[in-house]
Amino acid sequence: MISKPPNTWFSDDCFKCSQKNRCISATSFSMDERKYFLKIKGHREPPTAEMEQGKIKHDLYTQKLKTIEQYGLNRFRKDLYKGKEIELKNLGICNNMLGLRGIIDQIKLKLDLKNKKLEVDIVELKSGWFTPYIFQINTYGLIFSNNHTKIVYKRKKKRGKGVKRLLLDFLPKFELSRDIRIDLRIFGNKEKFQYFMKDNLITEKCGGFTSVIQMRAKKLRKLHNLGIQFVEELPPCKGCENGFNGAWKCGLWQDICSKINNVESKKVRQRYWGKTERKLLIKTKPRVFL
Note whether 122 and 257 are same-domain residues: no
Distance CA 105, CA 60 (A): 12
Note whether 247 and 114 are same-domain residues: no
Final residue before a domain boundary, out of 203, 223, 243: 223
- Residue 206 amino acid letter: C
**1 within domain boundaries:** no
| Neighbour-count burial of 61, counting CB atoms closer than 10 A to its CB (0-12 exposed, 13-18 middle, 19+ buried) | middle
| Confidence (pLDDT) at 51 | 82
**88 within domain boundaries:** yes
Q: What are the C-alpha distances in Å from 98 to residues 22, 26, 106, 263?
A: 10, 12, 22, 40
**2 within domain boundaries:** no
Note whether 232 and 219 are same-domain residues: no
Final residue before a domain boundary, out of 204, 223, 242: 223
| Confidence (pLDDT) at 113 | 92
Question: How many domains, in total, are found in the chain?
Answer: 2
Distance CA 88, CA 76 (A): 10
**279 within domain boundaries:** yes
The pLDDT confidence band at residue 66, using thresholds 50, 70 and 90, is very high
| Confidence (pLDDT) at 8 | 54
Distance CA 142, CA 136 (A): 10
- Helix 204-221 vs helix 133-143: angle between axes, to the nearest 10 degrees? 90
Note whether 118 and 186 are same-domain residues: yes
Note whether 130 and 252 are same-domain residues: no
| Confidence (pLDDT) at 145 | 93
| Confidence (pLDDT) at 238 | 73
| Confidence (pLDDT) at 283 | 46
pLDDT: which is higher, 63 or 271: 63
Q: Is the pLDDT of residue 47 over 70?
A: yes
**203 within domain boundaries:** yes
- Range of weakest confidence among 216-230, 249-263, 266-280: 266-280
Q: What percent of the chain has pLDDT over 70?
A: 78
Q: What are the C-alpha distances in Å from 90 to residues 76, 123, 238, 274, 283?
A: 15, 10, 30, 40, 30
pLDDT: which is higher, 206 or 239: 206
Note whether 151 and 275 are same-domain residues: no
Residues 165, 152 contacting (CB under 8 angstroms): yes
Distance CA 113, CA 90 (A): 25
**281 within domain boundaries:** yes
Note whether 263 and 216 are same-domain residues: no
Note whether 150 and 182 are same-domain residues: yes
Note whether 26 and 152 are same-domain residues: yes
- Residue 50 amino acid letter: E
249: domain range?
Answer: 227-289
- Range of weakest confidence among 103-117, 165-179, 233-247, 266-280: 266-280
Distance CA 68, CA 66 (A): 7
Note whether 200 and 75 are same-domain residues: yes
Final residue before a domain boundary, out of 172, 204, 223: 223
- The values of phi and psi at residue 198, to 5°, are -130, 120
Distance CA 206, CA 189 (A): 22
- Residue 263 amino acid letter: V
Residues 248, 258 contacting (CB under 8 angstroms): no
Distance CA 12, CA 9 (A): 8
**55 within domain boundaries:** yes
Note whether 151 and 254 are same-domain residues: no
The pLDDT confidence band at residue 7, using thresholds 50, 70 and 90, is low
Note whether 192 and 272 are same-domain residues: no
**135 within domain boundaries:** yes
